[in-house]
Amino acid sequence: MARIERFEEIEAWQKARVLTKEVYRISSAGDFARDFGLKDQIRRAAVSVMSNIAEGFERNSDNELRRFLSIAKGSCGEVVSQLYVACDLGYLHENEFHEFRSLAQDVSRLIGGFRRYLTGSDLIRGSVSNDS
């Protein structure tokens, strides 16, 4: 596999970007938009997913990237948990909840797979010398 030169090439980051856009969209309407605490928290969690993937990549170290991917994966769990709250409060219909939960879980799976792939891989530019 070719080396990844930019974080934007990482499939998990691309899907996390979609998740973030969708979280912003669903939290901008109705009662969800007026629940400032939940709205802000779920948005921060979604942004955290893509931001941690980017930050970990930019550190040019597989070890650092794995650490930040772990944080990003945790933020995916936070998004899912907050989706449950939104559903329980009636801010999302059941089908919307399942759709967004599935998207967040896809992102989490991609992150987990990428973390596993990085073990024993020289995927990032200059990563071997930085991890020594």
pLDDT of 112: 95
Distances (CA, A) of 50 to 1, 16, 34, 96: 22, 5, 25, 22
pTM as predicted: 0.87
For residue 123, pLDDT over 60 is answered with no
Tell me what the mean pLDDT of segment 30-37 comes to: 97
d(CA 5, CA 23): 28
pLDDT of 28: 97
d(CA 77, CA 54): 18
CATH number of the domain at 10-121, out of 3.40.50.1370, 3.40.50.10680, 1.20.1440.60, 3.40.718.10? 1.20.1440.60
Q: How confident is the model at residue 4 (pLDDT cuts 50, 70, 90)?
A: confident
d(CA 2, CA 80): 32
pLDDT of 1: 52
Distances (CA, A) of 76 to 1, 30, 113: 26, 24, 14
For residue 126, pLDDT over 70 is answered with no
Buried b / exposed e along 9-18 (16+ C-beta atoms within 10 A): ebebbbbbbe
Q: How confident is the model at residue 108 (pLDDT cuts 50, 70, 90)?
A: very high
Q: How confident is the model at residue 120 (pLDDT cuts 50, 70, 90)?
A: low
Tell me what the mean pLDDT of segment 34-51 comes to: 98
